[in-house]
Amino acid sequence: MPRPIIVDADEQVACPKCNRRFALSEGISRHAIERHAESFAVSLDKQRRTLEAELAATAKRRAEADYEVRRRSLEESIAAKESQLARSRAEELALRRQMRELEEAKKGQELEYQRKLDAERRKIEERAGAAALEELARREAQWKAQLASAQREATDLKRKLDQGSQQLQGEALELSLESLLKSAFPLDEILPVPKGINGADLVQHVRSASGLRCGAILWEAKQTKAWQQGWLPKLKHQQQEMGAEAAILVTAAMPKEAREPFLRESDVWIARFDAARPLAEALRACMIEMQRLRQANLGRSEKAELLYAYLCGPQFTRRMKAAVEGFAVMRADLEAEKAAMTRIWKKREAQLSRMSDGLLGVVGDLQGIGQETLPQLEGIAALPGAAAVEVAA
């Protein structure tokens, strides 16, 4: 295929024979130039159309390839988003289901709490006893603590409801025990044991009515389902360290062989919650009595000698004689005052009689003068004093 060459008509060329330079337009006729120009234009237009067709085909292929790539990318993106949306929907459904379960559990717990509370109230009305009231207060505090814990856990989906938390039940029992002791023994000092010390929960400093310290009782509360013998040595050891006179373990789970509400084992008192108060009253009374005896025995022989010397001495005799003489003087003064008052009463009675007689005489004179014109004078004669005077006369 011949290739056309585009050359300017003013292009200088050299003759191969004589080396004379001349313009190309001088060596080629105009007709040849026009003919070649038309041929060149046709060839250029054909090449242009061929190039345009090739460019269009190439662009189409590239566009199709880009479209295919974009389509696949878009499909993959849509598939990923649909998968993510499906996971999100599944997670949302699971979350909503969990929320509904928590709400239902909360409602069920509140209903169960109300049922238990109503049942306990009915029992209290039937028994009408102080022990039932104390038990209700303890259980109500425990249920309120559990309900508050459940409400806090419902807001956090990462935690589960833990109704049987021994730590929470123990804290509720400890609070109930502290409230019971403070209300039953207002004179005593009820203090919590520092948190760094394991074992006991409360210490009760027993004080008498005069404020004298008589001893201390160490308390520990256990709200568990099973009894553990290892509690006793720990509480006993802590009692010795703190110098308490008695140690009481209040537990919901008594030893298997226990049939009474409280017992003593290894120098430690073990009691149910309803027996805590009477046991504390008994121990407290013993401590106060022992303190009183200790105070009374201080210097007992010296006091007895001093008392005997005082009773046998002249000072006691003089004081007793002065007291007897004082009673005698008071008796004589009383009799004299009684006689004087009798004379005064008689004198006043005679004066009143004379005044009443004179007044009645004046009334009679006025009635005699006025005859029936002064009927109001009749009321004077009917006075109680006047009637009494007339009766006496």
For CA atoms 260, 261, 266, 269, the dihedral sign is negative
For 231-245, what is each residue's pLDDT tens digit? 999 999 888 888 888
For 180-214, what is each residue's pLDDT tens digit? 999 989 999 999 887 656 668 899 999 988 888 99
Q: Which two tokens stand for residue 44?
A: 């250029």
| Res 391 pLDDT > 50 | no
Of 379 and 204, which is predicted with more confidence?
Answer: 204
pLDDT on residue 380: 58
Phi, then psi, of 162 in degrees rounded to 5: -125, 80
Which pTM does this prediction carry?
A: 0.38
Q: What phi-psi label fits residue 185: left (phi over 0), alpha (psi between -120 and 50 degrees) or beta? A: beta
Residues in the chain: 393
pLDDT on residue 333: 86
Band of residue 161 on the pLDDT scale cut at 50, 70, 90:
very low
